[in-house]
Chain A
């Protein structure tokens, strides 16, 4: 008797707990902290530094979401997730959003019941070879040994690429990036293949970077973006528009430094660019539609910066990784980064 009462109470408490947490947005607001699924350590995208501060391109999107929802970009708890644990952690509710250089694919979108809400970095798989190999195109790699991280999509892409081009290769399987570099540098393989962003970072870590070249071919599409759980579209909207705000800000030339001036100018001048006025909450309250503060976009730009600033600070040409904008330039500059109109 007593036991059944106890079990009944537990079941009821479980149900209530389940019902009480209706949407992720409300959860995050109630908790006062965003739980952001991050990489355990990937240069330029998401890693804690020597004093434990997280930095990176993905990390900035986490911070933008926190700035939009909570008004404070520091109210984020970064949950380090490995390749194996990331999707389950999102599904089970251990994290609110997964921003961990995860490729948007059909099966992840459908079968794994994730919603990829945007693409914050367009990546693709490339090759790095030693300069003295005298190869200028990946199609000349016939008979080469290739270092490849086992168990990744890059392994499958590699097989597809060599098959379609009717050339042969010998794979050398390695566990992770550091080991791959070690093998590659020691001459265990002629070429090393991984995502192009990773290649650039890896090349910077070699002892003689000038002896290695990254081949021009990109053999796969790897759109990396933030993912949320299926069935919580309102939360998906918040994450999506937090990211788009960073894009719109870059498009409109609003930066961390000048956002205050622009708010002032837009407030004084009613003929100022109407989209900027809407974005910065000067004209109307666009935040209400999404359930966040009217100043949400201002908070993102003020505390995190626009997409271009984030890109240059974390992976851009002035960093050791030295990635060019390429596909990740704004659509106005020939890239793919395109935010829908804010109205």
Chain B
């Protein structure tokens, strides 16, 4: 006979939740059909999506990759999918992608901007992931592999591939031993990129670099006796003397003695995404430091600096970018001696930097304003001078607060580079598209270039946005 006592000595397995409280059903009920109104909206939205998809998906499905003209594309679509079918003619991208990427850059020299792009990623790694060995190494190795594949794909000769790979492997070695040392590459990168993209004697880039070295050296020596700001002023004057009067003679002599260099590529041939990146990256990297100085200037107690900064910021924020671009194109030429050949891309880069700095300055001023007054007082109490306080206490916090704003400005700036088409530069969206359309074979192409260019812009801007989110998480030290 069984004992009347019942002692459960094991737990019953828990039952699954009721069907309407779990899984997809629950998610649907809570998110899409939580009330009558929401259900109606969901159905309407779903119908709208289906309706749009019914146009776009068949169109996308009818893509043609192999054709030599729009007419041939249309014939192929008609032959495969019936006479009324329409489809994208991706053949135009397949045949003209190089112009979208490089503009009219000479085809034999494509390895130069490609290598510059790989070096750009490597030199960005210490900025984006400072001191992270794994990240630096990953980026360098990935870029080496990609670079080799790209160079082989572009049909580069083996000598250049070997040189590029050797450099990249050397950088990978640096990244694995001392990732922080890659910062030197970052400092040198503007000159390397300038030399790679424009070519000419190597001494031009070296000469420009020497000016910055002179600047840094004079500043370092002078700032101890006369202070940071005056020291920078003296250094700037000395460096300008080098750039304006001495550099030409010295580099000219060097170029005759040691004619090392690459074939010169004129600015007019630089177009497509190469142009967008040259303008975008230069403006982004130059506008941040200038913006910081302007923001500090605006909060300065010295009336002259304060009013100059306010005037500069408000003027350039108050004027549309297109106006500034036109001014760069026309006004500058009227002020310069007749028939001066002052490169249009350079002019555009300068005004875009000025324009972007004004925006960045205001974003950073927002960060500065958000810091509690106690932080400034704490810095004073520690006996730090102005620049030490800014460098060690104020700026790290202010910049951290400003990250979303700064990145959002950068994204806007990068997209604004397409506006340079208005002054006749070959931007990927309008400039190159117009050239492609002016070819008889591709007359009548409409969406394909826009989709292609838009896609690349999206990838770049989305990456920037994701990086900013990563950076915010990484730097988050409070309110966990």
Q: Which residues of A contact B (CB under 8 A)?
A: 13-14, 17-18, 21, 27, 39-44, 47-52, 77-82, 84-85, 88-89, 92-94, 176-179, 181-182, 201-202, 204-207, 319-321
Contact = CB atoms under 8 A, between A and B. Distances in A.
A92 B330 contact: yes
B446 A49 contact: no
Interface in B50-74: 70, 74
Interface string B336-355: 01111000000000000000
Interface in B422-441: 422-426, 431, 433-440
A52 B443 contact: no
B95 to A, nearest CB: 7
7 contacts: A39-B438, A41-B434, A43-B438, A80-B426, A81-B424, A82-B424, A204-B443
Contacts of B437: 41, 43, 177-178
A321 B443 CA distance: 10
B438 A47 contact: yes
A21 to B, nearest CB: 5
Contacts of A177: 437
A88 B107 CA distance: 32
B125 interface: no
A14 B445 CA distance: 48
A92 B438 contact: no
Residue of B269, B330, B443, B446 with most chain A CB atoms under a 10 A cut-off: B443
B114 interface: no
A320 B326 contact: no
B400 interface: no
Contacts of A52: 104, 106, 269
Contacts of B434: 40-41, 176, 178
Given A80-B426, A85-B424, A88-B329, A43 B443 contact: yes
B423 A85 contact: yes
Contact of A204 (B338, B339, B421, B440): B440
A52 B271 CA distance: 11
B96 interface: yes
A201 B439 CA distance: 10
Contacts of A27: 339
B435 A40 contact: yes
Nearest to A54: B104
Given A82-B422, A206-B444, A207-B74, 14 more contacts: A13-B337, A18-B337, A40-B421, A40-B431, A49-B439, A50-B99, A50-B439, A52-B269, A80-B424, A84-B422, A177-B437, A204-B440, A205-B444, A207-B444
B325 to A, nearest CB: 10
B340 A48 contact: no
A41 B330 contact: no
Interface in B410-465: 421-426, 431, 433-440, 443-446
Contact of A92 (B104, B266, B334): B334
Nearest to B434: A41
A321 B106 contact: no
Nearest to B342: A94
B268 interface: yes
A182 B449 CA distance: 14
A342 B338 CA distance: 34
B333 interface: yes
Contacts of B96: 50
Given A17-B340, A77-B266, A178-B437, A48 B431 contact: no
B444 A181 contact: yes
Contact of B443 (A18, A21, A49, A201): A201
Nearest 8 Cβ contacts at the A-B interface: A205-B443, A205-B444, A47-B438, A41-B438, A52-B104, A41-B434, A92-B333, A17-B337
B455 to A, nearest CB: 19
Contacts of A84: 326, 422
B15 to A, nearest CB: 59
Contacts of A181: 444, 446
A81 B434 CA distance: 12
A320 B424 CA distance: 26
A44 B268 CA distance: 21
B266 to A, nearest CB: 7
Nearest to A18: B338
Interface in B92-108: 95-96, 99, 104, 106-107
A43 B440 contact: yes
Contacts of A51: 107
Nearest to A206: B444
Contacts of B443: 43, 201-202, 204-205, 320
Contacts of A47: 435, 438-439
A17 B338 contact: yes
B31 to A, nearest CB: 37
Given A27-B339, A52-B106, A88 B330 contact: yes
Contacts of B330: 85, 88, 92
A198 to B, nearest CB: 11
Contacts of A82: 421-424
Interface in B230-277: 266, 268-269
